[in-house]
Amino acid sequence: MAKPAKPLTYNATLLEREDLTSQLSIFKIRPDEPIPANSFVPGQYVTLGMNNERVPDLGSVRRPMSIVSAPEERDVMEFYIRYVSYPESDNPLTHLLWETKAANRLFLRDRAVGKFTIRDTVGDDDPRLRVCVAAGTGLAPFVSMVRSIHLRDPRADLGQYAILHGASYPAELGYREELDSLKASGLHYMTSISRPAESPDWRGDSGRVEDYFMPERLKELDERLGLGAGGLRPDRAAILICGLQGTIGRIIERLIPRGFVPENRKLRRALEVPEDVPSSLFFEQYDNTPVIDVKDPEVIEPLREQLHAALAEA
């Protein structure tokens, strides 16, 4: 068995925990050291950690967590975290986090990292629509992005952002009020729940968030994003996806016929994308399963054909 990780020295305090459901919570954490100005870029993540006090032999555990708060919020860092019922490790962080309450101490790495930022994906000056797609807690980076713009200038136009959020139940659509209110600033905000039968009062969209991209629903999505029929294409929009493998893989498959190229070395190589064709679909993945099985010719060959047909047409 691997040696347990060394105990962590705690350097932050849990200020508040908001439980949206028994398995989904917002954690507001204050680092002991004030958060310096511009210490991170929306879309980045930090490592959160805890020692297993109940079973000290298990040692400590750290996991990356996307930052929900904006860099302009200088005294608190916010996280949107799901309890993992069937973890892979024997010392899962979410199980320790679920035992915490306000005033408890934890470890928060002081350096934010990650390249799932506007700067490192589409580029800050890119004028295209930024279609941000999130399943569950994958919403975190996108809240940080639009919140930051709004905090810097409450009159800023958010029309360049579309946030599509999917969850199982309405109660799991975290940040709904905040994002609903940002529609007044131009934000396109769409929500979908995948278990509508269990929420009879729900009048919104149903299905998983990746289902917005099903071939038979793409036309409707074009219109709802204000792009006009067939308009969701790499010359008009860039796609950012955050969440687990299933969501990311399905959206890539469904957008390849529209000519979207995923930013991933292995995928680009398997799809034989010419070097001069820029990526137009970016993703941040919370689990480890390959988003698309590039080794399976039955999967990759039709995708390659569809992509090359779309690139030839463009």
Least distance in angstroms from the C-beta of 200 to ligand FAD: 26
C-beta of 94 vs 185, nearer to ligand FAD: 94
Cβ-proximal residues to 89 (8 Å cutoff; 6+ apart), any chain? 61
Q: Which residue in 6, 5, 23 sits closest to 97, CA to CA?
A: 23
Which residue type, as a one-letter code, is found at position 312? A
Distance (Å, whole) CA 257 – CA 264:
17
Least distance in angstroms from the C-beta of 167 to ligand FAD: 11
Least distance in angstroms from the C-beta of 29 to ligand FAD: 12
Cβ-proximal residues to 298 (8 Å cutoff; 6+ apart), any chain? none
Distance (Å, whole) CA 76 – CA 305:
48
C-beta of 60 vs 66, nearer to ligand FAD: 66
Which residue type, as a one-letter code, is found at position 311? L
Distance (Å, whole) CA 42 – CA 148:
7
Which residue type, as a one-letter code, is found at position 249? G
Rule CB under 6 A: which residues touch ligand FAD?
A: 45, 61, 63-66, 79-82, 84, 87-89, 92-94, 114, 136-137, 140, 244, 284, 286-287
Least distance in angstroms from the C-beta of 55 to ligand FAD: 14
Question: How many CA atoms within 13 Å lie on the side-chain side of 116?
Answer: 30
CA 179 and chain centroid, separation: 15
Positive or negative torsion for Cα 251, 253, 257, 259: positive
C-beta of 115 vs 183, nearer to ligand FAD: 115
C-beta of 131 vs 242, nearer to ligand FAD: 242
C-beta of 140 vs 221, nearer to ligand FAD: 140
Least distance in angstroms from the C-beta of 98 to ligand FAD: 9
Q: Tokens in use for 270?
A: 């398997």
Q: Tokens in use for 9?
A: 């020295």
C-beta of 10 vs 98, nearer to ligand FAD: 98
CA geometry: angle at 124 spanning 247 and 274, to 5°? 60
CA distance to 30, 119, 164, 218, 256, per residue, from 127 (Å):
35, 13, 19, 22, 21
Least distance in angstroms from the C-beta of 66 to ligand FAD: 4
C-beta of 38 vs 85, nearer to ligand FAD: 85
Least distance in angstroms from the C-beta of 256 to ligand FAD: 24
C-beta of 9 vs 289, nearer to ligand FAD: 289
Tell me which DSSP letter residue 122 carries: T
Given a contact cutoff of 8 angstroms between Cβ atoms, the answer to whether 49 and 4 are in contact is no
Least distance in angstroms from the C-beta of 285 to ligand FAD: 7
